[in-house]
Chain A
């Protein structure tokens, strides 16, 4: 099940595309997605990151679920929900395939192997999976009895510059959620000054790494903190 914010004040944009399984044909389809992002995403860096994540996922679906079989399609659905009063957006990228290959592409299942390879510095495989887990806040995979595989990737991000008060509220919320100890706002401010181009969620991830928080735990907590603040504000 994909996760969406509970409040109903969002406006949204949707885009659907039949993505070919021919690896040599990806470029114009990336461009269509780039155009959609350019029209609706505020944050340039996030758009580039999401395009990279989408390309990695599509490439792996073609290689694993279709085993390189050309002239098939993967159904792509993009949905961008904007929550202006709560200062964030949610991008959902959903991929549906009916690949006949025996190896459905489940990024969550393959992450541990990718991590082991990476830590062993073997450099043989797995960077695509590592990128997905680095770039996305939530990844969900399911396979139906009817042979359809569904991969959903989601990203929460600020829909424009955020006020220092909002950043500090997120920080407090992360303390309430018991993922961070009490942190002086000045410390967050220092991270923001060091990494001014990063989105606030990424800045908080860096802060979490200073305190030794696992990245996946921190990502999930940041999403929860944004939702908690939104629900209180609405």
Chain B
């Protein structure tokens, strides 16, 4: 079961993803982000610490999100990826492209 939880803090919006980010869930995430990003006035932090699985569709969602954020002049930070989720970034060669911490 994939879930999205959003919290606003002082300087950023924190998006916490949990469950499994597969191709179906990536579609849900894309829809959510397409509505969220135009309303953002702060940088976005995406917390993946509760994400148990991610495939290449999830990776593509983050590429789209990064493009949307840059278009709005804001920064995207991805944090807390487990070893298996981080490997999806690494296998794609995009671990240096994103701000991962």
Contact = CB atoms under 8 A, between A and B. Distances in A.
A59 B57 CA distance: 10
A30 B20 CA distance: 10
Contacts of B63: 123
| Interface size range on A against B | 20 to 34
A55 interface: yes
Nearest to A62: B23
A94 to B, nearest CB: 20
Interface residues of B, number: 20
Contact of B56 (A26, A51, A56): A56
Given A123-B60, A128-B56, A134-B91, A48 B22 contact: no
Contacts of A184: none
Given A52-B88, A59-B55, A127-B92, 15 more contacts: A23-B22, A23-B23, A23-B24, A26-B22, A30-B20, A48-B84, A48-B87, A51-B53, A118-B93, A123-B60, A123-B63, A127-B59, A130-B92, A131-B88, A131-B92
Interface of B: 1, 19-20, 22-24, 53, 55-57, 59-60, 63, 83-84, 87-88, 91-93
Interface string A20-45: 00011011001000000000000001
A127 B53 contact: no
Contacts, number: 53
Contacts of A45: 83
B24 A127 contact: no
B35 to A, nearest CB: 20
Contacts of A24: 24
A49 B87 contact: yes
Given A23-B23, A30-B20, A56 B91 contact: no
B20 A127 contact: no
